[in-house]
Structure formats: C-alpha cells, structure tokens
A and B are shown apart, each in its own frame.
Chain A
Amino acid sequence: MRLSFLAAAVLAAAPALAQDLRGPDAFADIADDSARSAALFAEMGKVLTHPRCLNCHPVEGGPTQGDRMQAHNPPVIRGEADFGAVGMNCTTCHGSRNVSFTGSPGSIPGHEPWALAPISMGWVGRSLGEICAQMKDPERNGGKTLEQLHEHNAEDGLVGWGWDPGEGREPAPGSQKIFGELTRAWIDSGAACPS
C-alpha cells in the first residue's frame, strides 16, 4: 500500500531534475509493442515533467519559475491570450532570446514566441498517464495529429528552449533530438500511455 502510494507520487508531474535521457534503442528489448510504447512515453516523461516544461504548463494561475518552480516574480497571470495581463504581457520582460543580466549572475529567459501553454495542456500535478492522454487528445492538444505532435516535440523552437534555457537554469534532460526520437518511437509503437 505504502509502495503503491510512493509510486503514484513519483509518477505525478512533480519537477524532475538532473536525469539522463535514454534513446529508443534502450527499449528495443521490450517485445510487447504496447509495453514498449508506454515505457518510451515514461522516458519522455523525464522531459515533460522537468521544470523547464512544467513552469509554463500550469493547470491554474500563471507560470512558475526556476528549478524549484517557485511563484513567478513579478507576479503575473495567465491572461486571456495565455500571454499575461493587459498592460504586462510576457514580452514586457521576455525578449526573443535569453539575455544575461548585466552586473549580476543569471539571465532572463526568452524566445519568439514566449507564452504559456494553453490551459488544456496544463500538466502540473498530473500523472504521466494523464499527460499522455492529454497529449494525444486533439481536443486538448491544439488539434494536433500524432505526426504534428512529433514535429512539435522534435522541432519546435520553444520546446527546444528547454535545452538552452540560459544561465542559471538546468536544461531539460538529454536533447531535443533524443526527445524527438523517443516521440517517433512512441508513435510508431502505438502511442500507448503508461497506466
């Protein structure tokens, strides 16, 4: 009972720091397609539940920030366009690229575009199974097919920012290339979700 509770706690979308990311070859010896697919998604979950992703995939309120996912400072809200409050959009502070601070350590993150993931794509606190179901559901994933989802994971610039987050932030595990390969292998094996 206690073990299953712990397992559930580990699987829920809490920050996942400093993990290596294995490529699809590491799962080749799992003969059952569905089991291999679910294992591939669980590996993808190391990226999906990393603070670089979770901070901008909240399920309520605005973004969090930092490796400990503390409240965003200054305080910001999601706003109607997932882009902050009227009068203080994300771009009030965030530019088209990361910018190192002048005179003190650290940097302010940036990318074009820079915005919160829509509320339907909120992941914080959700299990990998729930995140997987969300990602596959066109009603909640922005109308994406699985192929478009692969393209998003493998090539989208804002996703890629997770591996180039600027001074003072830990990158997501592995690389976008491996993440894209995992997504490809997950789709090709049936896009099964972890239970």
Chain B
Amino acid sequence: MIHLTVNGREMSLDVDPDTPLLWVLRDELRLTGTKFGCGVAQCGACTVMLDGMPRRSCVTPVGMIDNASVTTIEGMEGPEISAVQAAWAASDVPQCGWCQSGQVMSATALLRQIPKPTDEEIDHAMGGNLCRCATYVRIRQAIHDAARTLEG
C-alpha cells in the first residue's frame, strides 16, 4: 500500500510500487490535467509538485515517494499560479495546449523562488518543458507579465 497526499487529500493506494506517479494520477485518480508527453523525462508535460518542488511524474515510481505530498495542476493555489494563469490567458499562450499544464507548473515554481526572473533565468528554468507549437516567446513574455502582476 502506497501512502500519498494528493492535492491536500491523504490516500492509500493499492498499486504496484513501480507504477509511475503519472499513471496513478491519470488512471487511478482521474486527475487528467497532468499529461503524458514522452515518458522519459524529456518534455516536461507530466510536471507536478512533489513536496513543493517540480517533478516529472512519468519517471517517478510511486514506491519511491511513499508518504510524499503531490500537487497537480488541479490542486494548485496561491498568487503565483493565479498570476501565471491570467498571464497565460491574456497572451494566448496555449495553442494545442498539451504541454501547458507542465509549463504552468514550471513557471509557477520559478516565480515562487525568483519573483522577478530575467530572460536567462526563465530559459534555464523552463528549458525542460517542450512546446511543439513553439510558444516559447509567449511563455517567456507571460512569465514576465505574471511577475509584474505579482509585484503589485
């Protein structure tokens, strides 16, 4: 039995410990906001927060994170995620949308640690999140916009 807190809710899961967290989130818990992209930690679509830090759920067996706290895009709260979501919508960042929950998770994690990131800091933090619609310029701009919103 695996014990996790997912989006603030404690749960015990009767799953194979080798099952990737992404599978558990999507197939067992029906939290489908987190996407499968590559399965090999190359694209960032499956990014969740693990004990408050970004983590690729496709390469995270649940047996490795017993008793951890997981937050998915559905459970995100706070000023940073709100600012990111507003900036994302204002700039029409999502195109096909597949990578966007991962992008939003990584952008939020960045703004929680660096309230006003530079272009370089954004590129370094977001370099593991691919977008096949190539919205990278909009993503960077939206992160700057969200930072300005948070500045007040």
Q: Which residues of A contact B (CB under 8 A)?
A: 73-77, 85-89, 91-93, 95-97, 99, 101-104, 106, 108
Contact = CB atoms under 8 A, between A and B. Distances in A.
Given A76-B127, A103-B39, A87 B109 contact: yes
A85 B40 contact: no
Contacts of B126: 87-88
B110 A101 contact: no
A86 B110 contact: yes
Contacts of B85: none
A86 B115 CA distance: 11
A99 B114 CA distance: 30
Contacts of A99: 59-61, 64
A104 B59 contact: no
Nearest to B106: A87
A99 B54 CA distance: 17
Contact of B110 (A76, A87, A91, A96): A87
Interface string B32-76: 000000011110100100000111101111001100000000000
Contacts of B121: 85-87
A159 B130 CA distance: 32
A116 to B, nearest CB: 14
Contact of B124 (A88, A93, A97): A88
Given A74-B42, A87-B124, A92-B56, 7 more contacts: A74-B128, A85-B127, A86-B124, A87-B126, A88-B128, A102-B58, A108-B59
Nearest to B41: A93
A102 B20 CA distance: 8
B45 to A, nearest CB: 12
Contact of A102 (B39, B44, B64, B113): B39
Query: Of residues B39, B40, B58, which shows the largest number of chain A Cβ atoms within 10 Å of its Cβ?
Result: B40
Q: Which 8 pairs across A and B sit closest by C-beta, in order of nearness?
A: A87-B125, A85-B124, A87-B110, A74-B128, A93-B41, A75-B127, A108-B59, A92-B54
B41 A108 contact: yes
Contacts of A75: 127-128
Contacts of B53: 89, 91-92
A172 B121 CA distance: 35
Given A74-B128, A95-B64, A101-B40, A88 B59 contact: no
Nearest to B125: A87
A76 B56 CA distance: 15
Contacts of A74: 42, 44, 127-128, 130
